[in-house]
Structure 1
Amino acid sequence: MEEIAVHIKELQGQEAQAKLDHLAAVLHRCVSDGASVSFIAPFTLEDARGYWRQKVLPRLGGRLRLFVAEADGRVVGTVLLDADTPPNQPHRAEVAKLLVHGDYQRRGIAQALMTHLLAEASAMGLTLLTLDTRTHDKAEPLYRKLGFVTVGVIPAFALSPDGSSLDGTTVMYKQLGQ
């Protein structure tokens, strides 16, 4: 598929609340398509709304930042930069919930989101990013392409999205400004 024009921006407060249904639709579709992002089928659209409403939206505006990709008038991708770390780790953050709606995958959106996140992390003065992803997931090569280094694999880390098996997770990091 060819790349499409997307607009990457940060959502906070009222604007994030107004986009709740869009955010839920992206998460729901990704889980329905088998993405290993902490949820197990059956996973409803209301479950997806609950995740954003309870776990993400209340924390925005502080050290948790939500970046979205918009195309065709809707949110088609997301990524979180979580810099809410202990006092002895102000230099680092975790990357989470890199999601692209199934209708928009393989068009450069995940890379655009990550490129934006990396620039924002650098502007915040962060020097270390960490993440984990299902071992052998399609996101792993993207993270490597962006300079993330694999620390190792934790076997049998989480249930697969359909709950039928245990998947490993690959732990990765990237040092910024070097």
Structure 2
Amino acid sequence: MERRLDLVERLDPDAVRAHAPAGLAALLVDAVDGGASVGFLAPLDAAEAASWWSGVAEEAARGVRDVWAARTPDGRLTGVVTLVRAGTDNGRHRGEIARLLVHSSARGRGLGQRLLAAAEAHAAATGLRLLVLDTQTGSPAERLYRGAGWTAAGTIPDFAADPAGALRPTTLYYKRLG
């Protein structure tokens, strides 16, 4: 039997708004519930998560952030990644990968790699030459980034609190494109 892969597609601002209250909010809540250090403390309320995604939709409308989502053939969102463009004149050549989330039920199928590759390809096609990101040191995401050719630039102790509120180190990564 052939295994059907989740579809990865870029979401326009209207699609981000449409998915914010349910699918995107559920991905963010699942990540925080699972211990991912993605900017929120647990427990994360679904309404707060939806509100954050509504702000992302506004950033997408302004051309500051691009969003890709993965969905099953029946339309359920299983993953998301965003690309934030630098807003300064001297940084227009770079962007940041932010909020790469794969639902706990969809992990281990290469979805994170596919989402990351989509964002990287778009970044290169639109003239970005350098990408950066940060992730909690020792997290499973580090293996994904290193496997995708990202280089660790350094670690900062006590950079961010995990969902339980404990301060954790963060490793900064970069990748040159093209």
TM over 0.5: yes
Q: Residue 89 of structure 2 aligns to a residue in which SS? A: coil
Amino acid at match of 2:153: V
- The correspondence for 2:103, drawn from 101, 104, 107, is 101
Counterpart of 1:35 in structure 2 is 36
Q: CA deviation at 1:107?
A: 1.1
Count the aligned residue pairs.
173
| Within-5 A mapping of 1:47-126 | 47-54=48-55, 56-61=56-61, 62-71=63-72, 72-126=74-128
Secondary structure of the equivalent of 2:47? helix
Hey, which bits of structure 1, 4+ residues long, moved more than 6 A? none
Which is further off, 4-13 or 135-144?
Answer: 4-13
Secondary structure of the residue aligned to 1:19 is helix
Offset at residue 157 of structure 1 (A): 0.8
Q: What displacement does 1:4 show?
A: 5.2
Please give the root-mean-square deviation of Cα atoms over the aligned residues, in Å: 1.2
Q: Which residue of 1 aligns with 2:144?
A: 142
| Preserved CA contact (<8 Å) 2:32 2:43 | no
Q: What letter corresponds to residue 79 of structure 2 in structure 1?
A: G
Closer, same or farther in 2 for the Cα pair 1:173/1:4, shift >3 Å? farther
Q: Per-residue deviation at 1:173?
A: 0.2
| Separation in 2, partners of 1:18, 1:39 | 22
Native 8 Å contact 1:64 1:84 kept in 2: no
TM superposition shift of 1:59 = 0.8
**1:167 counterpart residue number:** 168
Partners in 2 of 1:155 and 1:44 — Cα distance? Answer: 28
Structure 2 Cα separation of the partners of residues 49 and 19 of structure 1: 9
In the alignment, the residues of structure 2 paired with residue 114 and residue 40 of structure 1 have an alpha-carbon distance, to the nearest angstrom, of: 24
1:84 is displaced (CA, Å) by 3.7
Query: How many percent of aligned residue pairs carry the same amino acid?
Result: 40
Distance 1:4 1:103, change over 3 A: farther
CA–CA distance in 2 between the matches of 1:42 and 1:24?
Answer: 13
Q: Secondary structure at 2:54's aligned position in 1? A: helix
- Alpha-carbon deviations, 1:123-173, whole Å to 9, x = none? 01110000000001100011011111000000011112111x210000000
Which segments of 5 or more consecutive residues in structure 2 lack a partner in the other structure?
none
- Structure-2-length-normalised TM-score: 0.93
TM-score by length of 1: 0.93
Q: Distance in 1 between matches of 2:49 and 2:136?
A: 20
For residues 4 and 106 of structure 1, do their structure 2 counterparts lie closer, same or farther at Cα, with a shift above 3 Å needed? farther
